[in-house]
Amino acid sequence: MIFLHRSPALHRVLYPLIRFSKRSYTVTMSDKIMACKKAAAVHAVDEHVRDKQVIGIGSGSTIVFAVQRIAERVNSENLHLVCIPTSFQAKQLILENGLVLGSLETHPQVDVAIDGADEVDEDISCIKGGGGCQTQEKIVASCAKEFYIVADSGKYSQALGTVWKKGIPIEVIPMGYKPVQLKIQKDLGGKAELRLAKMKCGPLVTDNGNFVLDWQFTSPGNWKDINSKLVSIPGVVETGLFINMAKIAYFGNPDGKVTIHKAPWAF
């Protein structure tokens, strides 16, 4: 059992995944999956983080382990790093772990970005945005010389949509969500549903003050073309399709080993 009160950052990330009882917290995410996430995150950090770098910090539960490992190395190796957050959660993780917080205003060029994913295919194309942070994540990743994905092995698939069944997240301007929704369904098929908040009535609101549509597509296609069509719709801010962006994905396995997949287009 993991006692979440020992790690405020981990508590906040995993709070939606736990059940409260009068005597204890019970983590519903299996310890094995947590170990997989940690193995992938630690491996990527040890492989690519070096002194005097600007590091893009992604969002999600796997990134908690990446930030913790970065903090360990900063303390043990006296590394001088600047960390660029992709979300409010990432910003809090950076601060709580005593790392140097930066921004794209002061550091528009990022050396390495590390982030999680909801699904990754054999080309290292990704679906991201299950946590609603896809726009800032994509901005930081696009500014990085090198972008790496860390995840548990259950996130890998041969075709996008095989593992992640909740649709492709699409961030939209609130006033235009309905026409965007109808346009997507008319031109690309499937169903685009407005994502609702879990702890309040009404839609989920991103860090940017926007809404998210989750597009359940009918069949896979050329994801680069599909992404271009989506972002060309007036009112669409960004999508959770990360195509030809990540060079390598690190997947933690239940046996403690890490499987490395390289993007064919990058090597």
> Which residues belong to the active site?
137
Task: Name the 3-class secondary structure at 109.
Answer: coil
Rounded to 5 degrees, φ, ψ at 202 are 100, -175
Cβ within 8 Å of residue 116, ≥6 positions away: 37, 58, 59, 60, 61, 62, 63, 128, 149, 150, 151
CA 157, chain centre distance (Å): 16
Rounded to 5 degrees, φ, ψ at 29 are -70, 130
CA angle, 20 then 24 then 26, to 5°: 65
CB contact burial 193-207 (16+ within 10 A = b; e otherwise): eebeeeeeeebbebb
Residue 43 has, within 13 A of its CA and on its CB side, a CA count of 22
Q: What is the dihedral angle through the alpha carbons of 249, 49, 207, 11, rounded to the nearest 10 degrees?
A: 90
- Lay out the sheet containing 191-194: strands in order across: 191-194, 211-216, 168-172, 236-239
